[in-house]
Amino acid sequence: MEEMVATSEQISLDHEHALLDLVGIHAGYGTIDVLHGVELAVQPGQVFALLGPNGAGKTTTLGVASGQIMPSTGSLLLMGKEVTGTPPAVLARAGVCLIPEGRGIFPNLTVIENLRMITFAGVSFSDVLDRAFLQFPRLGERRKQLAGTLSGGEQQMLAMSRALASDPAVLMLDELSMGLAPIIVEELYEQVGHLAESGLSILIVEQFAQSVLGVADVAAIMTGGVIQRIGNPDEIAEELTEVYLGIS
């Protein structure tokens, strides 16, 4: 964690100092191979945007990084330590936190009850509430509302508050912007930027580049289960258009 080497100019993968590191990952579902040698390294305090079209393997990559999908070959490393095959709950306790597509909140519980669910050893409930409502005042106003009745943006805020309650080392977000109005996405990404400034490493998966551009330090394009390009977010955004138009 002390070895801060990431800069926005960094393009090539630095496996050595990475907080979260995927090396030569092959993985899939049963007999279906989806990832074909994925290389990815997220540095401390870095926002890494993994972009790609529908079905590229982005969610599967997060599944591997969070321990939910066991790679058939390749390694997962956390702070330089090999953790391939470590159960997701153990990885979560070690600081790997995933906000899944769909946000993983409990729709029939209130905001407060959702936040209470995340309190475990060492985290006090009142601290969790204080932090959540300080970061997202709107959640405080809706504290007694059922999570399922919140707007999409508020649900994402709740998911982020839950995730941050455990003080993760790396936060992974799957399609933060999905189904949300652009102004809400901007607001959420502003928070993501603050989190990165405070030293959190963040791996974000999005289908479209624009919303994540403002906060990403590095971006990568994935198609067909392979990372095709890693570069600075502006360059990658341009190339992404070509990928989506099938000109690659």
Ligand X SMILES: Nc1ncnc2c1ncn2[C@@H]1O[C@H](COP(=O)(O)OP(=O)(O)OP(=O)(O)O)[C@@H](O)[C@H]1O
Interface residues with ligand X (CB under 6 A)?
Answer: 29, 32, 34, 52, 54-60, 207
Name the minimum Å distance from CB 59 to Mg ion: 3
Name the minimum Å distance from CB 202 to Mg ion: 17
Instruction: Give the number of other CB atoms < 10 A from CB of residue 40.
Output: 24
Q: Which does 34 bind (CB under 5 to 8 A by kind): ligand X, Mg ion, none?
A: ligand X
Q: Which does 119 bind (CB under 5 to 8 A by kind): ligand X, Mg ion, none?
A: none
Strand 96-99 to 47-51 pairing: unpaired
The DSSP bridge partners found for residue 231 are: 219
* Per-residue DSSP letter, 148: G
Q: Which range binds Mg ion by CB under 5 A, 6-14, 51-59, 121-129, 177-185?
A: 51-59
Annotate 8-72 with DSSP letters as a single string.
TT--S---TT-SEEEEEEEEEETTEEEEEEEEEEE-TT-EEEEE--TTSSHHHHHHHHTTSS--S
Q: What are phi and psi of 23, to 5 degrees?
A: -125, 120
Strand 81-82 to 96-99 pairing: unpaired
Name the minimum Å distance from CB 145 to ligand X: 28
Q: Are 115 and 150 in contact (CB under 8 A)?
A: no
Q: Which range binds Mg ion by CB under 5 A, 15-23, 57-65, 115-123, 159-167?
A: 57-65
Closest to Mg ion by CB, 10 vs 59, is 59
Q: Which does 162 bind (CB under 5 to 8 A by kind): Mg ion, ligand X, none?
A: none
Strand 218-223 to 47-51 pairing: parallel
59 binds Mg ion (CB under 5 A): yes
Name the minimum Å distance from CB 23 to ligand X: 19
Nearest to 219 by CA among 76, 78, 42: 42
Q: Which does 32 bind (CB under 5 to 8 A by kind): ligand X, Mg ion, none?
A: ligand X
Q: Which two tokens stand for residue 46?
A: 């870095």
Closest to ligand X by CB, 24 vs 224, is 224
Nearest to 224 by CA among 40, 63, 38: 38
Name the minimum Å distance from CB 75 to ligand X: 19
Residues numbered 110-149 forming contacts with Mg ion, rule: CB under 5 A: none
Name the minimum Å distance from CB 62 to Mg ion: 8
Strand 201-206 to 32-42 pairing: unpaired
Number of residues that bind Mg ion (CB under 5 A): 2
68 binds Mg ion (CB under 5 A): no
Q: Which range binds Mg ion by CB under 5 A, 31-39, 56-64, 188-196, 219-227?
A: 56-64
Name the minimum Å distance from CB 106 to Mg ion: 21
* Per-residue DSSP letter, 110: B
Q: Which residues are near Mg ion by CB under 5 A?
A: 58-59
